[in-house]
Amino acid sequence: MKVTFILPAIGKKPGKKYIGTWKMEPLTIAQLKALTPQNIETELFDDRLELIDYDTRTDLVCITVETYTAKRSYSIAARFRERGIPVVMGGYHVTLCPEEAGLYCDSVIIGNAETVWKQMLSDAKNGTLKRRYTGVTAEYDISPDKSIFRGKPYLPVSLVETGRGCIHRCEFCSISKFYCSHYYCRSHDLVVKDLRRSKNRYIFLVDDNLVANRKNAAELFRRITPLDKKWAGQGTLSMAKDRKLLKAMKDSGCEIILIGFESLNKENLRQMNKSFNYALGERDELVERIHDAGIGIYATFVFGYDNDDERTIEDALEFAKKHNFYTAAFNHLLPFPNTPLYDRLKADNRLIYDKWWLADGYNYGELAFHPKKLSAEKLSRLCRDARKEFSAPKTVLSRGFASLGRTSPLMWGLFWGMNLRLGDEIDQKMNVPIGENLDELPK
């Protein structure tokens, strides 16, 4: 038996290359490879890097689907199903929209696939594939088999998972919906094993909130300190209240932490159910504590809540410039399916597209709903302008010199490569047609 894994791409502009920073290794596929019995042959087509061979000899196609890649996933599935090859789909989008995904494939996996993977393979082998499998999250302690990535030109950073989920309930967040506001810690022995086996010195700890369980995080940082790795991860500003935790993070190799500030506006934070960001009060002081600990910040902001206007975007930009963040993202809000945000906008009749992820003509960077105080086009343009301003040479210079000493010399070098390239990428990413032009070179 042979299984073909496919990681679909978002889309690209005709004749252009796929966005470079969107080429990280797909960890989930390595997890599933590790659970696949040795006597089953496997192959991977990463749509972001290579053309898919639709004529490949295979018995089963498994596609990992995210909302942004749903349209592309469904068209890939159709090509294989024309040949009579069964297609299984899993991933966040499938869990959030199983009925929709089920229309385009033979079987869906809901939740984390690891606990049902072997059963699904056995059923596929026996010709008794079920329409639906439901995985559970609690038991997922396996180590990924990254041999399936061999020869593929991913970014030179290894991905490692230390836990899944998050304890918060932000209105727009599909992670919170997927994991029902739960955080699941992964065994520290396995994290250490994965870090030891990582071929890159630079690691991205992929958890959505690394510090969701502070006690666990502190112990984990202590365990990984001797490994001499440098890592980036995602946390929340509240972690800065604990100076010991910050020190342990830095000692363990933390260079950059992504923090979702989202908004500086109290009403917006209340509406997105992220008031815990505002309740911190001493926001500036906490940012300084993180910087003083020698950790750079990747700050993210989201715009489109009901109190957003030109002023709130300007305020966020000024805040980001004042603190000389290592980097920052100024994103517009996007209603992911089955989140409370999506349901609210739908009930208020404010969605521009019922299903933006499948809509003809929907492009990356476009709004999919009507904001209250600005037009959709204007908000999209203001987000783009904020990105441009933050990556303008003068701002980059000031941020670069502020980063000197905050991060390791190599991360400082990386700062220039990353931030100077970011300016070009902003325009490349605008208006990428979702699900289009992917069966053509260059990749």
Instruction: Summarize as ranges the residues that interact with ligand SF4 (CB under 6 A).
Output: 166, 168, 170, 173, 175-176, 208-209, 236, 260
Question: Toward ligand SF4, which CB reaches closer, 49 or 264?
Answer: 264
User: Are 323 and 286 in contact, with CB atoms under 8 Å apart?
Assistant: no
Q: How far from 84 is each of 40, 105, 221, CA to CA, in Å?
A: 19, 11, 49
CB of 380 to ligand SF4, least distance (A): 21
Question: Toward ligand SF4, which CB reaches closer, 169 or 321?
Answer: 169
User: Are 235 and 241 in contact, with CB atoms under 8 Å apart?
Assistant: no
Cross-strand pairs, 199: none
3-state secondary structure of 233: strand
CB of 273 to ligand SF4, least distance (A): 8
d(CA 372, CA 366): 16
Question: Toward ligand SF4, which CB reaches closer, 65 or 170?
Answer: 170
The single-letter DSSP state of residue 93 is H
Structure tokens at 424: 């070009």
CB of 111 to ligand SF4, least distance (A): 17
Question: Toward ligand SF4, which CB reaches closer, 173 or 218?
Answer: 173
CB of 333 to ligand SF4, least distance (A): 12
d(CA 302, CA 330): 6
Question: Toward ligand SF4, which CB reaches closer, 214 or 443?
Answer: 214
CB of 207 to ligand SF4, least distance (A): 9
Question: Toward ligand SF4, which CB reaches closer, 52 or 173?
Answer: 173
CB of 100 to ligand SF4, least distance (A): 22
| Other beta carbons within 10 Å of 85 | 18
Q: What single string gives the DSSP state of each residue in 302-352?
A: EE-STT--HHHHHHHHHHHHHTT-SEEEEEE----TTSHHHHHHHHTT-BS
Structure tokens at 191: 């994290």
Question: Toward ligand SF4, which CB reaches closer, 175 or 297?
Answer: 175
User: Are 222 and 191 in contact, with CB atoms under 8 Å apart?
Assistant: no
d(CA 214, CA 211): 5
CB of 179 to ligand SF4, least distance (A): 9
